[in-house]
Amino acid sequence: MTRPITKTVEVPVADGDGERYTLKMGPQHPATHGVLRVDLELDGETIIKCSPQVGYLHRGFDKIAENRTYAQSLILTDRLDYIAAMANNVGYCVAVEKLLDVSVPLRAKYIRTIVCEMSRIASHLLWLATHALDIGAMTVFLYCFREREVMLDLFEELCGARLTFSYPRIGGVRQDVTRNFIDVLQRFVAEFPMHIEEYETLIDTNRIWLKRTVGIGVLSATEALELGLTGACLRGSGVDYDIRKHRPYDAYDLVDFEVPISDDGDIYARYRCRMEELRQSARIIQQCIDQLPPGPIISEDAPDLVMPLQGQRKVEAGSSTYGTGLIRLLEEKGEFPVGDIYVSTEVPKGELGFYFISDGSGRPYRMHMRSPSFIHIGALPALAEGSMIADLIANIGTLDVVLGECDR
Amino acid sequence: MESMEIAEKLQNHFSEEVLDICDFHGQVGVVVKRERIVDILRWLRDSPEIKMDHLMDLCGVDNKKRQGKNLLRLEVVYNLYSIPLRHSIRIRAQVPENDAAIDTVTTLWCGAEWPERECFDLVGISFTGHPDMRRILLPDDWVGHPLRKEYPLKGREEWSGLEELKHKVVQLQEFGLSDGILRTKEGQTQTKGNEES
């Protein structure tokens, strides 16, 4: 294989007798975080060749979306990265809004920024929990799930679902936040930095944790860029690329936050980046709550999925109770632009991009999702080849992949 | 630098290759021939004033029902972004139907390996010089490329590997192992977990 990145594959100790054998890890292995199969060629415990096999969860989203209207495809995005479904929903809505040129009310922008950051917290907590569990730190798992539960309860209060939300809409959000939601969130955000310190006391200087993470899975900035890594994996290698800063969407240009970067490029660096991101997320939510303006939560000209909010949306004479939005969208006449657009957002895993080609029919002519997990699993061989088999678990964990998003 | 400016520079540099430049909502796409695609992308990546170092997205498109001049049947779309200079551009390379192949860009970005495999799998464009040109999301023995416009949304036939899978279930039943893997219900075999996902 002619891999441009020449990671020197040196077998450190000839622990095997030189005889190679293959091992198929997965697709039901608990440490592969879903249905990922990794075919390994081993010499003793050293990985000579690693080739991940995906596609077990392929549902053909690109094809399905071509046969649905823009509003109908929203529910597909829940099923991509089900750990952080809210961020995926928002990413899809932002992309369609750019395509259809729908402007979003300021209050909706703030609410969406809040839920995006909440889902970042929920996703990073699950990542930390399982990553630590894989490496052998059991306790962190329980601590993380304690806080993640608060996030899921809040989501449930907001939209009735704990996993697949479909809460944002093209042009705004479905429902307004309640007083209680804000109060609970405010309390959570105030005490969350304390909880982060709690996790850090458990593993930050833990000798086993350091042995398993420092200097393992090292990627230089050039390597990470060539591999197409995004999110904390890229920032852990010292590249300052965060779409929230580079191409701000929603209310990210109205709040103040920092992008944590580390130059080391190993698993520990990526862990530190994500921990700092948790702190920044709490900071962003606090600012959004403070600045949350009154006003409408959905744009007047938004194509709606079901009923328009009563009293807030125009209902044209002669239309049925089920709203002008849906009917207008199903008519599919001439209101849709012709062109192609690529819009990406910063989801917890990395860069989630949507590439739309519109032919003016009301359904996307072609929709392509750039899912970070797909690219990240593709980078696994570059991380794992030449390392020990036990480090493969840590390497899968540090890439933070979700197979629902990878296979689409 | 503005995207349009980059597109014009590209046109000056590769005047033979550039077929069309289109602008939509501030995003510029350049339609090019496929022959020198690697040279074009290398120039975009390595020119000091352009520095498109991040390949955001690579995907294939079937242009069968699409209106537009200079379009061939198939197309490979490269979305590029420059992290230090913060500008982006889209390159759309045209690929004819009878020879659906284009040079690989894994020599520039090794991370393009998987998106190119996906493009081959779903749209049926093969990449010359690719280190591992196989299907990625669908089974290896799948027939057809689902994102071609003539491919039906719902097929009439079962996947050819299903018979083999059913046979395996019967074999596993002898060991009492079938429960966790497959469940036979009313003569129909279903892969457990299909509905939930």
Strand partners, B60: B76
* C-alpha–C-alpha distance, residues A113 and B131, integer Å: 41
All residues of chain A having their beta carbon less than 8 Å from the beta carbon of residue B24 are 337, 339-341
Predicted confidence (pLDDT) at residue B197 exceeds the cutoff of 80? no
Residues B170, B95, single domain; the answer is no
Where among B100, B127, B151 does a domain terminate?
B100
Of the partner residues A99, A227, A340, the one whose CB lies closest to the CB of residue B111: A227
pLDDT of residue A303: 62
* C-alpha–C-alpha distance, residues A121 and A127, integer Å: 10
Partner-chain contact B138 A55, CB within 8 Å: yes
B80 inside domain: yes
Residues B89, B170, single domain; the answer is no
Of the partner residues B88, B132, B153, the one whose CB lies closest to the CB of residue A67: B153
B134 inside domain: no
pLDDT of residue A385: 84
Residues B90, B177, single domain; the answer is no
How far is the alpha carbon of B25 from chain A, nearest alpha carbon, in Å?
Answer: 8
All residues of chain B having their beta carbon less than 8 Å from the beta carbon of residue A399 are none
pLDDT of residue B177: 57
pLDDT of residue A57: 86
Total structural domains within chain B: 2
Predicted confidence (pLDDT) at residue B187 exceeds the cutoff of 50? no
User: Looking at residues A188-199, what average pLDDT do you find?
Assistant: 90
Q: Angle, to 10 degrees, between the axis of helix A179-203 and the axis of helix A138-159?
A: 170
Residues B94, B166, single domain; the answer is no
Domain of B41 in residue numbering reads as 3-100
Q: What are B182's two structure tokens?
A: 């497959």
Compute the count of residue pairs across chains A and B with CB atoms less than 8 Å apart.
120
* C-alpha–C-alpha distance, residues A273 and A290, integer Å: 26
B129 inside domain: no
Report pLDDT digits (tens) over A358-393.
887 778 888 999 999 999 998 888 888 888 888 888
Tell me the DSSP string of A267-301: HHHHHHHHHHHHHHHHHHHHHHHHH---S-SB-TT
Predicted confidence (pLDDT) at residue B75 exceeds the cutoff of 80? yes
Predicted confidence (pLDDT) at residue A306 exceeds the cutoff of 60? no
* C-alpha–C-alpha distance, residues A379 and A371, integer Å: 13
Interface of B with A (CB under 8 A): 22, 24-25, 27, 29, 53-57, 59, 61-62, 65-67, 77, 79, 83, 86, 88, 90, 106-115, 118, 122, 131-132, 136-139, 146-147, 151, 153, 197
Assign B176 a pLDDT band (cuts: 50, 70, 90): low
How far is the alpha carbon of B20 from chain A, nearest alpha carbon, in Å?
Answer: 14
DSSP state of B46: H
B4-9 contacts at long range (C-beta below 8 A, 24 or more positions apart): B4/B28, B6/B44, B6/B50, B6/B87, B6/B89, B7/B89, B9/B50
pLDDT of residue A121: 92
Assign A302 a pLDDT band (cuts: 50, 70, 90): low
Report pLDDT digits (tens) over B162-172.
888 888 888 77
How far is the alpha carbon of B65 from chain A, nearest alpha carbon, in Å?
Answer: 9
pLDDT of residue A355: 92
Lowest mean pLDDT among A216-230, B45-59, B178-192: B178-192
ipTM metric: 0.81
Q: What are B89's two structure tokens?
A: 């551009």
Q: What are B68's two structure tokens?
A: 């537009």
3-state secondary structure (DSSP) of residue B55: strand
Tell me the DSSP string of B96-148: -STT-EEE--TTT-GGGHHHHHHHHHHH--EEET-S----SSS-TT--S-TTS
Partner-chain contact A62 B147, CB within 8 Å: yes
The more confident residue out of B155 and B150 is B150
B82 inside domain: yes
Predicted confidence (pLDDT) at residue B21 exceeds the cutoff of 50? yes
How far is the alpha carbon of A177 from chain B, nearest alpha carbon, in Å?
Answer: 29
How far is the alpha carbon of A135 from chain B, nearest alpha carbon, in Å?
Answer: 27
Q: Rounded mean pLDDT of chain B?
A: 81
Where among B100, B119, B154 does a domain terminate?
B100
Partner-chain contact B25 A368, CB within 8 Å: no
pLDDT of residue A115: 92
User: Looking at residues A186-196, what average pLDDT do you find?
Assistant: 91
Assign A90 a pLDDT band (cuts: 50, 70, 90): very high
Sign of CA dihedral A94, B30, B101, A225: negative
Report pLDDT digits (tens) over A236-266.
888 889 898 888 988 898 898 899 998 888 8
Q: Rounded mean pLDDT of chain A?
A: 82
Q: What are A123's two structure tokens?
A: 């996703």
Predicted confidence (pLDDT) at residue A141 exceeds the cutoff of 70? yes
Where among B79, B100, B121 does a domain terminate?
B100
| Chain B residue with the nearest C-alpha to that of A51 | B132
Residues B169, B95, single domain; the answer is no
User: Looking at residues A338-347, what average pLDDT do you find?
Assistant: 89
All residues of chain A having their beta carbon less than 8 Å from the beta carbon of residue B132 are 1
Please state, for a pLDDT cut of 90, what percent of chain A lies above it.
18
* Domains identified in chain A and CATH numbers: 61-299+332-407 (1.10.645.10)
How far is the alpha carbon of B1 from chain A, nearest alpha carbon, in Å?
Answer: 14
B154 inside domain: no
All residues of chain B having their beta carbon less than 8 Å from the beta carbon of residue A365 are 65-66
Partner-chain contact B53 A225, CB within 8 Å: yes
* C-alpha–C-alpha distance, residues A364 and B158, integer Å: 27
* C-alpha–C-alpha distance, residues A84 and A347, integer Å: 8
Residues B88, B14, single domain; the answer is yes
Residues B87, B172, single domain; the answer is no
Distances (CA, A) of A370 to A80, A184, A337, A376, B124: 11, 34, 22, 11, 18
Predicted confidence (pLDDT) at residue A352 exceeds the cutoff of 70? yes
CATH number at residue B54: 3.30.460.80
B109 inside domain: no
B112 inside domain: no
pLDDT of residue A324: 43
Report pLDDT digits (tens) over B109-143.
888 889 999 999 999 898 988 888 888 888 888 88
Assign A338 a pLDDT band (cuts: 50, 70, 90): confident
User: Looking at residues B72-100, what average pLDDT do you find?
Assistant: 89
